[in-house]
Amino acid sequence: MPAADPSKIRNVAVIGHRGTGKTSLTEAILFTSGAINRQGSVEQGTTVADHDEDEKKRQMSISASLCNLEWRDRHINLLDTPGDPSFHADTIASLRVVEGAIVAVNAAVGVEVQHERLWKHCEDNNVSRLVFVNMMDRERADFLAAVEQLSESFGSGAVAAQLPIGSEDKFEGVVDLLTMKAWRYEGGKPVEGDIPADMIDLVNEYRDKLMDEVAQNDDDVMEKYLDGKELTNEELYHALKEGVVAGTVFPIGAGCATKLIGVSNLLDLLVDAVPSPAKHGTFKAIDASAGEIDLEGKADGPMAAFVFKTLTDPVTRGRISVMRIFSGEMLSDSNVFNPASKSKEHIGKLMRLQGKDHNSTDSLGPGDIGAVTKLKKTNTGDSLCNESQQIIFSPIQFPNPVMSFAVDAKNKGDEEKIVEILHRFAEEDPTLIVDRNTETNELIVSGLSQVHVEVIIERMKEKFGIEVNLKPPQVAYLETIRKEATAQGKYKKQTGGRGQYGDCWLKIEPLASGEGFKFEDKVVGGVIPRGFIPAVEKGVIEAMKVGELAGSPIVDMQVTVYDGSHHPVDSSEMAFKIAASMGLKKAIASADPIILEPIMSVQVTVPEENVGDVIGDMNSRRGKVLGMEPKEKMSQVNSEVPQAEMLAYAPDLRSMTGGRGDYTMEFLRYTEVPAHLSQKIIEQVQAQKEEEKGH
């Protein structure tokens, strides 16, 4: 199959809040276009896009699914994306490789939180937008209210291009305000008819609103429109496309995906208004030898592709890399170069995906989207190019994980498998972070929500038969001292034959925060032979790993060995190591030991009306609010908060702000835990030790 003509390609992501019928709309588009011969059901788990078992069970999209179809001699690559913010990564990645987006809106609900976020991502990526007000057959469906909400939220450019004929159980078709034709749907097929008489005034009113927005995008059309002259379809559609491409017009259609009403009208609008890769213009990239360039999407240009998604083949368990070709042509059975891993990759069989199914193709040209299997050192966000001319695209900016859990195996012996499998999942999902906390020795899995992490754990069980326990991660407390102290550590053991003898005097002193550990030898006169001094230091270091208060590592302390004694026969490295450990524990007990807790720098971005709630909540978490700053249409609250108070912040913030709040968090420093909380931590540690003894 030859590469598609870039001017005849449309790359479109279906986006929207969860529950707006995106997958049903994708299924309806595929069926209407003839790409599939039967229309699947989300409820029955039979759709092309939602083919994963987790998606069928939860009845929602968890990852983006690529499909393709033909309509009016155009090749359309369609990406059905998740609406739940827990699986936002694939939606963000998809918007990097498309020129257009269909924004699905529930007719009974209107604009929701995720619409606002996704609209901003479209603006950032210069993605043109159409809106499809779906579910017009639902109770309380109100198209005009949805249009008003869209206009209030996203500007007057969000304008109706169609009006529904009827609503709720009487919804039967649409009036196209561009062609001024009415289409009623019979058995999912459009039948042209007259505009209902009782809609004439409403149609004229909304036709004028549409013309006011569209005409502004072409001077000749505007002049002709103001003069009251009749516009040709060619003039009208040209002005419409110019507005959609410029991001000043966002046509709104109406329909019901499950009944196929309005879907063919939407497809026509998509072809007429969404720009092709050729129309879109140049793309920003970096040429390794020439610096930043404007890359033209031409077949004879340098080959440059961008991998925006990695998934596992359900049959072979191998990796599939899904990519967009931005320039040049990629051929099956060819070699390419990955600048990120500095490695050559062999392109075996190129594919076009239809959900979980795939069809081979000989080549992919500029503007097209496809996939390849078995790339060894290529991950999501990597560029593929010719080694002779290395073209690199900027990485995708994914949201940071906000919920972390400690993971341990239910069955002994699964530990290594768990780490390997989780890292494999993390290759597919860049918002999943797998790490080992060296302070607590816990395996930590972090994601965008509790649901996000739970889905990963369920997949591990279903696909690999491995079960794990999820629990809140331990806070990595530290301990230190506030006073100087001295103590003797003496270890003497006689059991017949050669005994054990070690004796040392230690002085401990606090150091400034962040200075760590210093060891000094001030022994004189050979009371401790030089060969045993390293053993003393080792004993001190080992003892510092487990503090006496909460069992946490001890930091910011200087230890000096200044006196002691030895036995010519019984002294050994082991004896002095044990003696040093005993001496250190005694000294710390009288050096006013304290527990330190990690303090995080937290930036919370919320609507203005939620700022007071966030500040009050931060204060209740022992946080210190440092100030506020405007951030586009939102406000950012900057705080310093103990990590222990932030372990379950994500769902609390979501509840506080109706899902409109976001936050970032990073480690700042350690500070002393207040005395009353310190005692609670000590009691918890003691209780845990007793419980472990009981087992």
CATH number reported for the structural domain that contains residue 656 in this entry = 3.30.70.240
Query: What is the pLDDT, as a whole number, of residue 49?
Result: 65
41-55, 98-112, 163-177, 564-578: lowest mean pLDDT where?
41-55
Helix (H) or strand (E) holding 507: strand 500-510
User: Domain range spanning residue 535?
Assistant: 479-591
692 or 390, which is more confident: 390
Look at residue 684 and tell me if it is in a domain: no
Last residue of a domain, one of 591, 609, 629: 591
CATH number reported for the structural domain that contains residue 333 in this entry = 2.40.30.10
Say whether both 287 and 304 belong to one domain.
yes
φ, ψ (nearest 5 deg) of residue 350: -80, 150
Say whether both 446 and 563 belong to one domain.
no
Over residues 385-390, the mean pLDDT reads 95
CATH number reported for the structural domain that contains residue 460 in this entry = 3.30.70.870
641-688 pLDDT per residue, tens? 999 999 889 889 989 998 888 888 888 999 999 988 999 998 888 887
Look at residue 693 and tell me if it is in a domain: no
Q: What does the alpha-carbon distance between residue 157 and residue 67 come to, in Å, rounded to a whole number?
A: 29
394-409 pLDDT per residue, tens? 999 998 888 899 999 9
**Helices assigned H by DSSP within 83-190:** 88-94, 113-124, 143-154
Residue type, position 479, single letter: E
Please provide the DSSP assignment of 662-691 as one string: EEEEEEEEEEEPPHHHHHHHHHHHHHHHHH
Q: What does the alpha-carbon distance between residue 81 and residue 102 come to, in Å, rounded to a whole number?
A: 11
CATH number reported for the structural domain that contains residue 193 in this entry = 3.40.50.300
Say whether both 289 and 267 belong to one domain.
no
User: Within 10 A of 411 (CB to CB), how many other CB atoms are there?
Assistant: 12
Number of domains in the chain: 5
**Helices assigned H by DSSP within 20-160:** 22-33, 53-58, 88-94, 113-124, 143-154
50-100 pLDDT per residue, tens? 556 666 666 677 889 999 999 999 999 999 999 888 888 999 999 999 999
Look at residue 37 and tell me if it is in a domain: yes
Look at residue 72 and tell me if it is in a domain: yes
How far apart are the two ends of the chain, measured CA to CA in Å? 65
Say whether both 424 and 388 belong to one domain.
no
Q: What does the alpha-carbon distance between residue 336 and residue 329 come to, in Å, rounded to a whole number?
A: 11
User: Within 10 A of 680 (CB to CB), how many other CB atoms are there?
Assistant: 11
Q: What one-character DSSP code corresponds to residue 342?
A: T
Last residue of a domain, one of 255, 273, 291: 273
Look at residue 687 and tell me if it is in a domain: no
Look at residue 694 and tell me if it is in a domain: no
Query: What is the pLDDT, as a whole number, of residue 47?
Result: 77
Say whether both 414 and 368 belong to one domain.
no
Last residue of a domain, one of 240, 273, 306: 273
Q: What one-character DSSP code corresponds to residue 400?
A: P
Look at residue 224 and tell me if it is in a domain: yes
Query: What is the pLDDT, as a whole number, of residue 695?
Result: 55
Say whether both 129 and 104 belong to one domain.
yes
Q: What does the alpha-carbon distance between residue 163 and residue 159 come to, in Å, rounded to a whole number?
A: 11
Kindly state the percentage of the chain with pLDDT values over 90: 71
412 or 586, which is more confident: 586
Say whether both 531 and 567 belong to one domain.
yes
Say whether both 198 and 59 belong to one domain.
yes
Say whether both 227 and 256 belong to one domain.
yes
Say whether both 330 and 467 belong to one domain.
no
Say whether both 637 and 581 belong to one domain.
no
Look at residue 681 and tell me if it is in a domain: no
φ, ψ (nearest 5 deg) of residue 488: -100, 135
Say whether both 435 and 549 belong to one domain.
no
Confidence of residue 499 (pLDDT cuts 50, 70, 90): confident
What does the mean pLDDT of the chain come to? 91
